[in-house]
Amino acid sequence: MKKLILSLFAAAICSASLFAAPAERFVKVVVTPDNSEWRYDCGQKPVFTVTVLKHNNPIENAVVSYEISEDMMKPHVSKTLTLKNGTGTITLGTMKVPGFLRCRVFYKDGDFTYEGTATAGFEPEKIRPTTTLPDDFDKFWSDAVEANGKLPLEPVITPMPELCTGKADVYHISFQNYTKGSRFYGILCVPVGGGKHPAILAVPGAGVRGYRGMVSMAEQGYVTLQVGIHGIPVNLDPKVYTDLYSGALRSYNRYRLDNRDQYYYKRVYLGCARAIDFLAELESVDAERIAVCGGSQGGALSITTAVLNPKVKYLAAYYPALCDMTGYLYGRGGGWPHLFSRSADDNLRNDKCIETTKYYDVVNFARKVNIPVFMSMGYNDMTCCPTSTMSAYNVISSEKELLLFHDTKHYTYTEQDVIRNKWLYEHLGK
């Protein structure tokens, strides 16, 4: 059963969010599509209403500038508009093929510039990927997983009493991955009281940082493992991560892109899949009830992990990165890290790099997902653009649900976390 959930803005209780919503702005530029679902048929011409609010009142005769572009492409319209009586309208034009048309509106007040954005989706459920599936894709990854499986896990589990609560025990863990001596690190949280529990692996968004674990979920009866991907402990001084991200790991997502066997994400994909093996071997885990979740880069890793390790039974992803990365080569938006965009290094646009991405593109993993999937995203996201994420969602053939919060950019609302967690808990049970 495939289920499309649209525009859920229910009141929420509290939930820790992986990606916080933006701070409230003093001046608000509100851009409102004339279709509440932000969806149009190809050939339709959306009309957006623009209002600029100050002290929650419309500013009469405000002068705004705006630009219209296809998702992640250069603007093809740049104009100004005077909002007589506090409002104005913009006709976007149309698209002849499935995709997204974005309108960004800017208002300057003194030294500050405010922005409002809305994005029209033209038959987004029909978007298809540009990347292709290599003939030896399955063999490449099955050989890699098999070779990695021959390496002993050699787990190290160290208590972190400073993070423990009366309901959850917390540990810093590591296990061997990829090559002898190379390790994968994370924070393990286990419900107090013994017994076997469902487990949730949380895979990270882009960057380099430490972690403190998903204690609240463990307190509710779930074993949780929050991992880092860079082969370094995740409980170090924050400055260590800042220095690494500014230095050696600054462009890790491009490292050895010209070689499919040495690309940075090979060790990462395998390490996340191996984290599932680590969880499954714990006495506290019911190995038949394991889920994986994450957003952005973590959304991508959720999908790859679910395909590379069949022990994963449920998958929840926010706006996955690394989807349809070749989109830019076909004149449309591609997924983070935007390897082939006009602003990317020109030397990446070569046959070797393009071919490597096919083995790591999340679209090609999405084609092979065979478990229940929960995905959430927004149309205004210009980090993991909707053209790329929909190209992945649309090729998933298993049971799936899509939760759209149309106005979100690269963040989540608390409501999204509440709904996602409810989905996980209902599927995993207690």
Assess if residue 43 is contained within a domain.
yes
CA 424 – CA 406 distance, rounded (Å): 22
pLDDT at 7: 36
Helix axes 137-149, 351-360, angle to 10 degrees: 70
pLDDT at 21: 74
Assess if residue 265 is contained within a domain.
no
Q: Which residues are catalytic?
A: 296, 381, 410
pLDDT at 382: 97
CATH number at residue 107: 2.60.40.1930
Assess if residue 370 is contained within a domain.
no
Q: What digits encode the pLDDT tens for the residues 12-60? A: 323 334 456 777 889 999 999 999 999 999 999 999 999 999 999 999 9
CA 401 – CA 403 distance, rounded (Å): 7
CA 227 – CA 287 distance, rounded (Å): 18
Q: How far apart are the first and last CA of the chain?
A: 24
pLDDT at 1: 39
Assess if residue 114 is contained within a domain.
yes
- Average pLDDT, stretch 167-171? 98
Looking at the structure of the chain, the number of domains it has is 1
Percent of the chain whose predicted confidence (pLDDT) is above 90: 92
Q: Kindly state the tokens that stand for 76.
A: 């093809």
The residue count of the chain comes to: 430
Q: Kindly state the tokens that stand for 322.
A: 């690394």
> What SS3 state is found at 264?
helix
CA 215 – CA 248 distance, rounded (Å): 31
Q: By residue range, what is the domain housing residue 79?
A: 24-126
Q: Which residues of 12-40 are buried (b: 16+ CB within 10 A; e: fewer)?
A: eeebebbbeeeeeeebebbbbbbeeebbb
Q: Residue 9 pLDDT > 60, yes or no?
A: no
Query: Is residue 311 very low, low, confident or very high in pLDDT (cuts 50, 70, 90)?
Result: very high
pLDDT at 23: 78
Predicted structure pTM score? 0.94
Assess if residue 107 is contained within a domain.
yes
Assess if residue 206 is contained within a domain.
no
pLDDT at 20: 64
Q: What digits encode the pLDDT tens for the residues 104-161? A: 999 999 999 999 999 999 999 999 999 999 999 999 999 999 999 999 999 999 999 9
Q: What digits encode the pLDDT tens for the residues 22-31? A: 778 899 999 9
Query: Is residue 345 very low, low, confident or very high in pLDDT (cuts 50, 70, 90)?
Result: low
CA 231 – CA 159 distance, rounded (Å): 19
Contact 336, 315 (CB under 8 A): no
Contact 158, 168 (CB under 8 A): no
Assess if residue 281 is contained within a domain.
no
Q: Which residues pair with 293 in a beta bridge?
A: 202, 316
CA 358 – CA 378 distance, rounded (Å): 25
CA 396 – CA 323 distance, rounded (Å): 13
Assess if residue 91 is contained within a domain.
yes
Instruction: Return the amino acid letter for 79.
Output: K
Q: Residue 423 pLDDT > 80, yes or no?
A: yes
Residue 238 backbone zone (phi > 0: left; psi -120 to 50: alpha; other: beta): alpha
Query: Is residue 10 very low, low, confident or very high in pLDDT (cuts 50, 70, 90)?
Result: very low
